[in-house]
Amino acid sequence: MRPLRKAFTLIELLVVIAIIAILIGMLLPAVQKVRESAARTQSANNLKQLALAFHSYHEVNGELPHNGTWNYTAWLWGPFQGNQWTYTVPVPKVAPGCTWAYKILPYIEQNNLYTNYSFTTPVKTFIDPGRGGTGLTTSQWAGQWDNSIYASGQVTDYAANSMLIGSGLGTTGPANAPIYGPTWVSAPTTAWASYHRRMTSIKDGTTNTIMVGSKALAVNVYTNRGCGNYSMSNGGTQSCNDDPITNPGPGVMGTLRALGPDDTWWVAGDPGAANPNDPYATDIPGARYRLAPGWTWYEYTFQVVRDAPDLDGWNRWGSPYTGSAPLAMCDASVRYLPYNISNTLVLQLCTPNGGEVVTLP
């Protein structure tokens, strides 16, 4: 007699395959959750390193790093590269005019990039692993002394609090007609209307003031970093708010969030009488200048939101993670702010001298 062969029947095989599929289906969400948790932890660690770098810079220079001036104001030193007065790649000689992200490179173990800048060297500390990508803009430097210098290079998933650090082109008086100045084209850096923020001048307390945080970004921008505008699903366009670290100055949404009337002159103006029912519609606590007329919508940009398609990230903090976004306070602690946090509380956490009594969630 021929021996019987032991084998699965077709039905048994299908049952086994179905069980395996169910197990995989149960396992994948758990794996994705672990990956997100690991990425979130790494993002928080990046913010911790950046906050500590701000402190190290402060110890050496006696102030926090501001966000520089347009074109690095290289003409203060005469013709630089390519016999140009206004265009140069970031170098230590023009560091006062560069972004905070360039200024702190020596304090995040990137001194070689600081002294020998390259457009093609990503900085891991600036990259949120939840968004992926190369850490570089999709556009490339043209190799000439032109505006492509300020559209290329490293991007950062983290922005500094503009109300805290400002730039080399702050707002100057009078309060009812604010302008930028002084005459910084021919003046030394000490004459710029720049923020020279010291830690001791943060009257609201370092634990209650945001220093640097994860910035909101539309998922449309993930594969087009450094872009000026992106195409929305409805056919319209939206600002990317993702300028590279080579693009300095006030109001630059690639490296800053929480713009204010004191640090960005076009936000400032004289809107008339204060609104007794909504003081934030006309005034930012602790600010010298009031908001420009018609900017009653401005207070509602102080949000913490999750990255999403077609998102307007202008002035907003955010992240790719569920529930909350990480932000580093001025004491270098990292806090997770929930997406349902009120815009008023976010605004209060951005003002260094607002005098508010803040209770963190």
Please report, for the chain, the start and end positions of each structural domain, with discontinuous segments joined by +: 46-350
User: What pTM does this model have?
Assistant: 0.89
Band the pLDDT of 6: cuts 50, 70, 90.
Answer: low
Query: 22: which residues sit within 8 A by CB, 6+ positions away?
Result: none
Q: What is the pLDDT at residue 28?
A: 66
Q: What is the largest CA-CA distance in the chain?
A: 108
Q: Cα–Cα distance between 346 and 27 in angstroms, integer?
A: 37
Q: Cα–Cα distance between 35 and 31 in angstroms, integer?
A: 6
- Flag the least confident range among 50-54, 122-126, 306-310, 357-361: 357-361
361 has pLDDT over 60: yes
CB atoms within 10 A of CB 17: 10
Q: What is the pLDDT at residue 191?
A: 64
- Flag the least confident range among 33-37, 72-76, 149-153, 329-333: 72-76
Q: Cα–Cα distance between 75 and 78 in angstroms, integer?
A: 5
Q: Cα–Cα distance between 246 and 152 in angstroms, integer?
A: 7
Q: Alpha-carbon torsion 251, 253, 256, 259, what sign?
A: positive
CB 66 within 8 A of CB 195: yes
Q: Which residue has the higher pLDDT, 180 or 174?
A: 174
Q: Cα–Cα distance between 65 and 314 in angstroms, integer?
A: 22
- Flag the least confident range among 58-62, 118-122, 354-358: 354-358
* Residue entry with tokens 């945001």: 210
Q: What is the pLDDT at residue 324?
A: 97
Q: What is the pLDDT at residue 359?
A: 80
Of the chain, the percentage scoring pLDDT greater than 90 comes to: 68
Residue 175: exposure state from Cβ atoms within 10 A (0-12, 13-18, ≥19): middle
Q: Cα–Cα distance between 299 and 279 in angstroms, integer?
A: 10
Q: Cα–Cα distance between 80 and 74 in angstroms, integer?
A: 7
